[in-house]
Amino acid sequence: MASPIERLRGRTARPATESRVIDLAGEESEDVLDALATGTRRQLYLSLFDSTATTSELAERVDTSVQNVHHHVSVLRDVGLVRPVDTVYSEKGNEMTVYGPASDPLVLVGGHRHMDSDDVSLADLVAGVGLLALASVVVQWAAERLWTQVSTVPGAVGTASYADGGSSLVATIAWFVFEVVEPGVLFFVAGLLVAVLVSLASGGDRTR
């Protein structure tokens, strides 16, 4: 049972809500499984998902000594399963650490495929945006060269024709593309829009 001082102060800290995924084929899985192999340690760890606790409270929960709990908690901390979440004080004024699970939920998976899918998707996204940005630079450079050549031709549609009151559709579009938006930016935005639409369409197909 918590001391009166502990109850008076209360515990404002909450256990971690970040999930943790461990690949059974990975290096860290062996350490985690070894840490949870002991029945008492596993029981202690599981109890922290119900509520955080000090070592003395954990000792009462699993019916063991405080010294034994300190050892188990140390092992669990070493493999990243448990972390300090708060500090309280006993009736004698001694500082006591409150422990909770370092991640919730803890997920064990049996293959790289599930773990790597998000990393691959992120890598594909970064690579795609990079290629689109590079293509946009090329489009901007080519459009500026073309516009420079066209604008020097007598009678060609240019920004001047719009500024001078030209109202033709071609002049309006040319002014908007080359002076307001810039061809490279327009190409980049259009490319992103197409990529988003394709991604949404493919995502909808997978959920069917």
Residues 8-39 pLDDT 10s: 344 555 555 678 888 888 788 889 999 999 99
CB count within 10 Å of CB 190 equals 12
Asked if the model's pLDDT at residue 162 lies above 50, the reply is no
Cα–Cα distance measured from residue 46 to residue 73, given in angstroms and rounded to the nearest whole number: 12
Q: Cα angle vertex 87, ends 69, 35, to 5°?
A: 30
Of residues 71 and 22, more confidence is placed in 71
pTM of the predicted model over 0.85: no
Mean pLDDT, range 62-69, rounded to an integer: 94
Predicted pLDDT of residue 22: 84
Confidence band, pLDDT 50/70/90 cuts, at residue 94: confident
Contact 90, 96 (CB under 8 A): yes
pLDDT above 90 coverage of the chain, percent: 29
Of 60 and 203, which is predicted with more confidence?
Answer: 60
Show the CA angle centred on residue 117, arms to residues 110 and 199, nearest 5°.
Answer: 145
The full set of domains in the chain, from first to last, is 4-109 (1.10.10.10), 112-206 (no CATH)
Residue 52 region, left (φ>0) first, then alpha (ψ -120 to 50), else beta?
Answer: beta
